[in-house]
Structure 1
Amino acid sequence: MNLLDPLLNLLLGLGLGTLGGLFGIGGGLIAIPVLGVLFGLDQQLAQGTALVMVVPNVMLALWRYHQRNRIELRNALLLGVSGLVCAWLASLYAVDLDSRSMRWAFVGFLLVLVGYSLLRMQMPQRPCVDRLQQRRGWLAVLGGFSGALGGLFGVGGAVVATPALTSLFGATQVVAQGLSLSLALPSTGVTLFTYALHDQVNWWMGVPLAVGGLLSISWGVRLAHSLPESLLRSLFCVFLLLCALMLALE
């Protein structure tokens, strides 16, 4: 192994951790296409390796978001428990799929999110309130659906839950990102465990990425709380589109 590789992975983790804190997604969504395109990892191995960075990043980002905007425990548990169960079941299915088919499914998943985000930006914004505007039972439904997609694609489900919480539940962007992290933590943990059991994790790459992410994710969280709501949503949409293009052009 080249001695420069851990240093390069550490530097990459610094950048990915900042993006993960900014968008409340742990950095995995950009790490997966980077590992696939630049390092030649197949889709499942890229997802499993990215999760090594994502799990501790999500843990730290969740704590940082909770410090700035207290996350209600009941809401977090509803999202987290349902997300964990569905992520585990979906990850068992994902590790046996054809890698190329998985990659194109991931590209399609990102493009759907881009389309939804663009549509949501054109719609009249619902007023944000202190309490969520839907019954708590729907949080369990959202957690299960997001967790299943997270287990399938190795992204923790926060990327799905965040726009749903803002558009359907009336949460602000930063509150939605904090709640989404409470869903992402258990679902990414169980997904990483499943991928590791099936030898779909490169620990030599993942650990330096995780260290870099832990060093930088607080910068992203701080930046997220300083940006205007509309700008943060626009950047999130552009971010998703770039990830999809990176994989599609590989």
Structure 2
Amino acid sequence: MCDLIIYVILGLVVGYIGGFAGIGGGPFLVSFLVLYCGMSQLAAQGNVLTMMLGPMSLLGVLSLYEYVKKQWISICIGVLFYCICSYFGAVFAFYIGETDLKYYFAILLILIAILQFRSYFRKNTIAASKEYISFYWIAVLASITGILGGMFGIGAGVLMIPILIGVFKLKKEYARAMSLAILIPPVSYGAFIKYNFENPVNWQLVGVLFGTYFIANFFGAKMGSKISGTTFTLIYGFILLAIAIIYLV
């Protein structure tokens, strides 16, 4: 297991990245706890999902409040469907088992990396211009990300952001605001029930990660509003791809 100082640094770094990109940072947290701290895949996912019960992205949302208030109905729909479906994702995770789950987690990281590369290389095409999408598609997207979130211990943004921008052409700030706002309520509660029943969470670890993430998230969100993030998108994709390769080999 890692020392406390490692957890503090991890929470600060991932919190800043999460605010900057509008993501929860789940892939980084889970993979670091597994590959560096020696935690089992299921235990790491359970702890990360428990951390998401708190308003981890509140400060980031406050910095994007003008975009959040224009989408509050969509956000409420997203929270509801994500929370319900996260439970079923957790059930699938324990059904699959530790070994196969690591393999599928690596595949998920590769797919997310591909989405990042696609977003980067399509930057010169028609820019995202919408300020809203239909409630139906919000429900569908939240359900899918909820299942995957509960299954792999990740938040909404890592999948929602590239889909909202790349597929639905939602403006960057609206997509980031929606993603961060969906994480404020305990959207992972459904998954938490299953994970905590099977493997009781480490509340000290959860508290440290949440506190440091919470603080750093605000500063990351402020910086993300000032920078285009195209270079970060490319770097982010390569990091995820590298982590996936380590998992596979």
TM category (shorter chain) comes to: 0.7 to 0.9
Q: Are residues 241 and 172 of structure 1, via their aligned partners in 2, closer, same or farther at CA, if it must alter by over 3 Å?
A: farther
Matched, 1:46 2:44: yes
Q: Are residues 143 and 29 of structure 1, via their aligned partners in 2, closer, same or farther at CA, if it must alter by over 3 Å?
A: same
TM-score relative to the length of structure 2: 0.86
Counting only pairs closer than 5 Å after superposition, residues 54-73 of structure 1 correspond to structure 2 as 54-56=52-54, 58-61=56-59, 63-67=61-65, 69-71=67-69, 72-73=71-72
Counting only pairs closer than 5 Å after superposition, residues 12-23 of structure 1 correspond to structure 2 as 12-23=10-21
Corresponding position of 2:102: 103
Bigger mean CA offset, 121-130 vs 200-209: 121-130
Q: Take 1:101 and 1:200, find their aligned partners in 2: how far apart are those partners? A: 21
Corresponding position of 2:80: 81
TM-score relative to the length of structure 1: 0.86
Q: Take 1:118 and 1:46, find their aligned partners in 2: how far apart are those partners? A: 27
Q: Take 1:193 and 1:62, find their aligned partners in 2: how far apart are those partners? A: 26
Identity score, percent: 22
Corresponding position of 2:135: 136
Corresponding position of 2:150: 151
Asked if the contact 2:26–2:48 (Cα under 8 Å) also holds between the matched residues in 1, the reply is yes
- Residue 151 (structure 1) shift: 1.0
Counting only pairs closer than 5 Å after superposition, residues 180-195 of structure 1 correspond to structure 2 as 180-185=179-184, 186-195=186-195
Asked if the contact 1:48–1:202 (Cα under 8 Å) also holds between the matched residues in 2, the reply is no
Amino acid at match of 1:164: I
Asked if the contact 1:92–1:194 (Cα under 8 Å) also holds between the matched residues in 2, the reply is yes
- Residue 156 (structure 1) shift: 2.1
Asked if the contact 1:120–1:167 (Cα under 8 Å) also holds between the matched residues in 2, the reply is yes
Q: How many residues align?
A: 246
- CA-atom RMSD, angstroms? 2.5
Corresponding position of 1:223: 223
Q: Take 1:205 and 1:26, find their aligned partners in 2: how far apart are those partners? A: 17
Q: Unpaired segments of 5 or more residues in structure 1?
A: none
Matched, 1:198 2:198: yes
Q: Are residues 98 and 73 of structure 1, via their aligned partners in 2, closer, same or farther at CA, if it must alter by over 3 Å?
A: same
Asked if the contact 2:16–2:218 (Cα under 8 Å) also holds between the matched residues in 1, the reply is yes
Q: Unpaired segments of 5 or more residues in structure 2?
A: none
Q: Are residues 121 and 11 of structure 1, via their aligned partners in 2, closer, same or farther at CA, if it must alter by over 3 Å?
A: closer
Q: Take 2:16 and 2:153, find their aligned partners in 1: how far apart are those partners? A: 19
**1:184-211 Cα shifts (integer Å, max 9, x gaps):** 4443233233312222522232221222
**1:64-103 Cα shifts (integer Å, max 9, x gaps):** 3542533411111222212111112211222343111101
Q: Take 1:164 and 1:184, find their aligned partners in 2: how far apart are those partners? A: 17
Corresponding position of 1:7: 5
